[in-house]
Amino acid sequence: MITFEGVTKRYDDGTVAVDDLSLEAPTGAITVFVGPSGCGKTTSLRMINRMIDATEGRVLLDGQDVREIDPPTLRRGIGYVIQQAGLFPHRKIVDNVATVPYLLGWDRKRARARAMELLERVGLDAGLARRYPFQLSGGQQQRVGVARALAADPPVLLMDEPFSAVDPIVRASLQDELLRLQSDLQKTIVFVTHDIDEAIKLGDTVAVLRVGGRLAQMAGPATLLTEPVDDFVREFLGRDRGIRRLSFIPAKDVRLEAAPADLVTDAAGRPLGWRADGGLLPYGTFNPERDSLRAALDAALLAANGTAVAVDEDGRVIGVVTREALDEVLGQYAARHTRPLPATGEDPRG
């Protein structure tokens, strides 16, 4: 567990980057620090591995004050992933990943074997191991950065906006990869982002920070969206926080119907579009076994006729969901989560 006890970081010019921060990042979970620029997210993260030291208060790692630990020793036990991966340009990928094992005194054969194992774990082809960073795409470099951070099997992983420099498609893929890895490894992860959607997707717990480094609210994603503590949090979450709440409703709750004859598929049963005079109209798909109701609604909105196409893991059509069926599930969910207004007429949800 990582604990902040009344932590303040004040610079010599009087600037306060973090102000009396107290919180806990639970063992084996992802805690996300999110907030606008200037809220002290990265400063807080760097105080964990002593790249920055606190002015007041304490940062504890499993009950021990990090200032009592020699910085190089502390950092070798903490994985660290940053924007742009931060790879050594003159080293091959396999040796980039093996950096910390080398520092720990592992022999070359053992360190490289560990590196190859991790490259596979993060979804990279073994053939990339002999290349140099400039020969990889941005997304591949970020995967290498994650592999390098995991090389010595540290219990703690710090991630400072690691996916912000890649395009949205690659970013979504990297987020999914991190969640897959975490389901296997159960690391204690502190993740910094300015993107509330990323925070909600990745975080077991989300800490929203105000400008000036004060904690505004810390809660699970669903609670945060449902019960923002004040106007600042409510505005930061955005006016579409109700839509974001749909990310926590499994799409398998929706009722599937047989695909109609006007849904055109290929020989393997994958959708091509909705038949119309003069060609095919757009369609949207979702996987009811792994996607959320938000994905199903998005698929319906993408379709020309408002009907979402349900597919299996291989992309084959297994049914469709009409807007009426989606409205039915939404209505049931709203009924379960709506509280009656008090006699004054004031809405307790804000």
Summarised one tens digit per residue, pLDDT across range 280-327 is 999 999 999 888 888 898 899 888 888 999 999 999 999 999 888 887
Task: Determine what percent of the chain is predicted with pLDDT higher than 90.
Answer: 48
Question: Does the pLDDT value for residue 347 go beyond 50?
Answer: no
Across 157-171, average pLDDT: 85
Alpha-carbon gap, residue 269 to 280, rounded angstroms: 16
Question: Does the pLDDT value for residue 41 go beyond 90?
Answer: yes
Token pair, residue 234, equals: 């409510």
Question: Does the pLDDT value for residue 237 go beyond 80?
Answer: yes
Across 1-25, average pLDDT: 93
Tens digit of each residue's pLDDT (9 = 90 or more) over 273-292: 999 887 899 999 999 988 88
**Which amino acid is it at 347?**
D
Direct distance between the N- and C-terminal alpha carbons of the chain, in angstroms, rounded to an integer: 34
Question: Does the pLDDT value for residue 208 go beyond 70?
Answer: yes
Q: What's the half-sphere exposure (Cβ side, CA atoms, 13 Å) at 64?
A: 8
Question: Does the pLDDT value for residue 344 go beyond 50?
Answer: no
Question: Residue 342's pLDDT is what?
Answer: 45
- Banded model confidence at residue 93, pLDDT cuts 50, 70, 90: very high
Q: 2-247 falls under which CATH superfamily?
A: P-loop containing nucleotide triphosphate hydrolases (3.40.50.300)
pTM of the prediction?
Answer: 0.78
Tens digit of each residue's pLDDT (9 = 90 or more) over 240-280: 777 777 887 788 878 899 999 999 999 999 999 999 887 89
Alpha-carbon gap, residue 334 to 237, rounded angstroms: 19
Question: Residue 334's pLDDT is what?
Answer: 63
Cα separations in angstroms, 195 against 55, 74, 216 = 28, 29, 16
Q: What does the domain layout of the chain look like in residue ranges?
A: 2-247, 251-334
Question: Residue 243's pLDDT is what?
Answer: 77
CATH number, span 251-334: 3.10.580.10
Question: Residue 112's pLDDT is what?
Answer: 92
Mean pLDDT for all residues in the chain: 87
CB–CB of 143/177 below 8 Å?
A: yes
Cα separations in angstroms, 289 against 51, 181, 246, 250, 284 = 42, 19, 15, 8, 16
Question: Residue 293's pLDDT is what?
Answer: 86
Across 204-212, average pLDDT: 93
Length of the chain: 350
Question: Residue 109's pLDDT is what?
Answer: 92
Question: Residue 348's pLDDT is what?
Answer: 38
3-state secondary structure string, the chain?
A: CEEEEEEEEECCCCCEEEEEEEEEECCCCEEEEECCCCCCHHHHHHHHCCCCCCCEEEEEECCEEHHHCCHHHHHHCEEEECCCCCCCCCCCHHHHHCHHHHHCCCCHHHHHHHHHHHHHHCCCCHHHHHCCHHHCCHHHHHHHHHHHHHCCCCCEEEEECCCCCCCHHHHHHHHHHHHHHHHHHCCEEEEEECCHHHHHHHCCEEEEEECCCEEEEEECHHHHHHCCCCHHHHHHHCCCHHHHHHHHCEHHHCCCECCCCCEEECCCCCEEEEEECCEEECCCEECCCCCEHHHHHHHHHHCCCCCEEEECCCCCEEEEECHHHHHHHHHHHHHHHCCCCCCCCCCCCC
Question: Does the pLDDT value for residue 339 go beyond 80?
Answer: no
Question: Does the pLDDT value for residue 82 go beyond 80?
Answer: yes
Query: Do 2-247 and 251-334 share a fold?
Result: no
Question: Does the pLDDT value for residue 350 go beyond 50?
Answer: no
Question: Residue 338's pLDDT is what?
Answer: 52
Place of tokens 């022999």: 107
Question: Does the pLDDT value for residue 341 go beyond 60?
Answer: no
CB–CB of 29/205 below 8 Å?
A: yes
Tens digit of each residue's pLDDT (9 = 90 or more) over 148-162: 888 888 899 999 998
Of the candidates 201, 196, 209, the one whose C-alpha atom is nearest the C-alpha of residue 177 is 201
Question: Does the pLDDT value for residue 193 go beyond 70?
Answer: yes
In terms of average pLDDT, the best of 52-61, 135-144, 164-173, 300-309 is 52-61
Question: Does the pLDDT value for residue 142 go beyond 70?
Answer: yes
